[in-house]
Structure 1
Amino acid sequence: MKGQSELEETVKIRSITMNDYKYVLNWSTDEVFCHANGWQIDRKPEELYDWWLNQVYTFSIEFVRLGVEHEGRFIGYGDLADIKNHTAEFGIAIGDRTLWGQGLGTKAAAELMEYGTKNFGITTYNAETHENNLRSRKMLERLGFQEINRNGKEEYLGEYVELIQYRLRSNGL
C-alpha cells in the first residue's frame, strides 16, 4: 500500500465530464460494485448515458457530484447532497473494485470535505452506511466521523442489515 504522502499526490477531486462515461459504463457491468452502490444491474448503455449526461450538466446549489481521479484516471465520484445550513450528506464511491481497500476513498473523501468546507461553508457532514460495509465504516471513522444512530434496515450484498448513521462536525477551515 502506498504511503499517505504518495496518495496525496495521486488522488484528486475534480469536475465530472462526459469523457468519464466510459468508466461509468464499465462499472455498471460489475455486479459487486452495482450491489454495493445501489446501482441497477444490466442497465442499458443508452439509459446509463442519459443518466450520466444529467449528472454532468445539471447544476444544483444543494447537490454536488465530483470525480475522483487517481494517477490521471477517473476511478470514482463523491457527493455532497442536501446542502443547507452548513450541513451536507456525504458519500463516496470508488468504481474500480481492484482499487478498494487501498486508502484512495479515504483520501478522496478528505479532499471532498475540504472542498465542501471551502466552497459551501459546510461544517457538519452526515453519512450513512450498512453495518456489514466494514471498509466504509473504517473510512468514516478514520476521517473522524462518529456513529450517531442505527436506524433502518435494507439489503446490502445479499444480506438484510442495519443502516448506521454517522456525523462529523468541524470548525471549518
Structure 2
Amino acid sequence: MQTTTLSFANMHNHGELMANIFRARRQSFIIQNRWDLPEALGMEYDQYDTPASRWIAVHDGPNVLAGIRLTPTTARCGIYSYMIRDAQRGLLDTIPDDLLYAPAPVDAHIWESSRVFVAHDTPMAIRRRVHAHLITEMTKSARTLGAARVVGIIPASWPRWAGRCGLDAQAAGRVLDFDGYESQCVTINLLDRLH
C-alpha cells in the first residue's frame, strides 16, 4: 500500500494515477451514491479540480483504494473559491448555505478537504489501515503546504473514530443529510500533529 500526493506539477510522474483517482471518485459518488455530478471519460470532476488543488491517493500500484482533494481556502477561479465557502455563499444548489456556524475562512494557513472517499471494492480487512494512511498523508501534505488547519465535510459519525485516527477535530456546522448520508463540517487542527 502506497500514498501519493499529486499535483498538476507532478502528475506526469505517476502514470494513470491521477486519472484513476477521478475514475474512483466517479464510482464512489456517481455510481455508488447516485449523486448528480459532472463526469467525462469515466471520471468525476468539478470546478475545484484546478492547479491550486492537490489530490491524495492511497493506492496499490495503479489501483486507487481511497482519496482526498485538498484546496487552499484562498483559491479563486472565476466566481468560485472552494466548495464549502461557495456553498455558504449560495453558489451550489446541492449543499445548503447554512452548513457552517461561522463565515467560511479565507486564510493561507487553512485548506479545505473535499471529495473524500474509500473505494467500494477496498476490502473490509484493510479499511482501517487505508483510513490511517489517508489521514496521515492528508496531514503531512497539508502541513507541507503551510496549513495549520483543514476544514472539510466528513461523515457525521466522526466523533466515534476521529480520536482513533489521531484527528483533533471540532464541529464547525450542523449535521447535513445528503440523500441519506449524514455529514458535518469540521475543522481539523494540524498543529498538534508535528511528528
**Superposition TM-score, scaled by structure 1 size:** 0.61
Structure with the higher helix share, 1 or 2: 1
Superposition RMSD in Å? 3.6
- Which amino acid is the alignment partner of residue 136 of structure 2? A
Give 1:137 deviation, angstroms: 4.3
Question: 1:90 and 1:50 mapped to 2: Cα distance?
Answer: 17
Question: 1:59 and 1:162 mapped to 2: Cα distance?
Answer: 27
Q: How many residues align?
A: 148
Change (3 A) 1:102 1:70: farther
Give 1:164 deviation, angstroms: 5.4
Give 1:64 deviation, angstroms: 2.2
Question: 2:150 and 2:119 mapped to 1: Cα distance?
Answer: 22
Question: 2:44 and 2:3 mapped to 1: Cα distance?
Answer: 26
- Which amino acid is the alignment partner of residue 133 of structure 2? K
1:75 aligns with 2:100: no
CA contact (8 A) 1:130 1:156 kept: no
Q: Which residue of 49, 55, 59 maps to 1:65?
A: 55
Which consecutive residues of structure 2, in runs of 5 or more, have no partner in the other structure? 7-16, 74-106
Q: How is 1:34-113 mapped onto 2 (pairs within 5 angstroms)?
A: 34=33, 39-40=35-36, 46=40, 49=43, 51=45, 55=49, 58-60=50-52, 63-70=53-60, 72-83=62-73, 84-91=107-114, 92-99=116-123, 101-113=127-139
Task: Name 1:12's counterpart in structure 2.
Answer: 3
Structure with the higher strand share, 1 or 2: 1
Task: Name 1:153's counterpart in structure 2.
Answer: 175
Q: Percent identity?
A: 9
Task: Name 1:115's counterpart in structure 2.
Answer: 141
Change (3 A) 1:13 1:99: farther
Runs of 4+ in structure 1 deviating by more than 6 angstroms, as ranges, are none
- Which amino acid is the alignment partner of residue 106 of structure 1? A
- Which amino acid is the alignment partner of residue 45 of structure 2? W
Question: 1:50 and 1:165 mapped to 2: Cα distance?
Answer: 24
**Superposition TM-score, scaled by structure 2 size:** 0.56
Question: 1:162 and 1:19 mapped to 2: Cα distance?
Answer: 25
CA contact (8 A) 1:123 1:169 kept: yes
Give 1:110 deviation, angstroms: 0.7
CA contact (8 A) 1:89 1:125 kept: yes
Task: Name 2:151's counterpart in structure 1.
Answer: 126
Task: Name 1:6's counterpart in structure 2.
Answer: none
CA contact (8 A) 1:90 1:127 kept: yes
CA contact (8 A) 2:23 2:43 kept: no
